[in-house]
Amino acid sequence: MTYKINEIFETLQGEGSFTGQPSVFIRLQGCPVGCSWCDTKHTWEVNSDLRIPISDLLAQKEETEDWAELTVQEISDLFRAQKFKAKHVVITGGEPCMYDLIPLCSRLESEGFSTQIETSGTYEVKTTENCWVTVSPKVNMKGGYKILPQAMARANELKHPVATEQHIDDLKLLLNDFSVQDKQVYLQPISQKQRATELAIKSCIENDWRLSVQVHKYIGIE
C-alpha cells in the first residue's frame, strides 16, 4: 500500500475537537469533490509529471502540486528521521478517504500515535476503530459527489463550513437524514468573513452546536 503525499509537517491542530493539539499533518494528494472555497486546491490533481522524491518535497517552503509516493514503512521511517514531538497525526488532503487508511493508521497507532482523518464524507471511510474521524460534509459541490451514510455513521464529529443560511439549512437536512444527533457538530466560518462568523455564532447558540474558527489562520501558522 502506498500513499501520494503532498505535505508532511508538524504544527498545532487549528480546528474542531482537537484545537490546540500538537499534531503531525499528512496531506494526501488527490480530490475530485470541487469545493469552491477550498484552501488546498493544489492537492486536487495527481499529475504524474509532478512526482518528486520525498527529500525534495520536505525541502519545499511553499504550496505546490508536487507529490511523493511513500509506503507505510517509509512514512514510519520518515517520522523517526524528522524526530516529530507531536503524538497526534491528522490525515487530510485532498480527500484522504480516496485511500484505504487502515494500514497507515494501524502502523501509526502501534507506534504510539493517535490518529485523525478529515474527510468530505463522499468516500467510504476505511480506517481503524480508534481513529478519530472528522467529517466535513460537502453538499452540492462541483464534483457531484453525494454524502455517504457510511461516512456519516463513522464520524466522531461533524465540521460544517458556513457562509450563508443555505449552508445551515443543508446541515439541518443532513442531521435529519442521517440521524447523527449523538455527534458533536462544529460550524466553521468560511474564509474568516465577518458575516459568516456572525452567522456561525448565531446558529451555534440557537442549535447548541460549537464554533470552529481555524485558529491556525488567526495566529499565522500552517
Give the residue numbers of the binding site for [4Fe-4S] cluster: 31, 35, 38
CA atoms within 13 A on the CB side of 6: 24
Q: Distance (Å, rounded) from C-alpha 134 to C-alpha 40?
A: 17
Binding-site residues for Mg(2+), please?
Answer: 40
Binding-site residues for substrate, please?
Answer: 12-14, 27, 92
Contact 141, 33 (CB under 8 A): yes
Contact 42, 27 (CB under 8 A): no
Tell me the three cell numbers of residue 182. 449523538
Binding-site residues for S-adenosyl-L-methionine, please?
Answer: 37-39, 94, 136-138
Q: Distance (Å, rounded) from C-alpha 167 to C-alpha 140?
A: 10
The strand ranges marked E within the chain are 2-12, 22-28, 68-71, 88-92, 114-119, 132-135, 157-162, 184-189, 210-211
- Which residues neighbour 63 within 8 Å (Cβ) at sequence distance 6 or greater? 40, 42
Provide the Cα torsion 108, 10, 92, 204; round to 10°. 110
Q: What three-state secondary structure class fits 11?
A: strand
Binding-site residues, please?
Answer: 12-14, 27, 31, 35, 37-40, 92, 94, 136-138
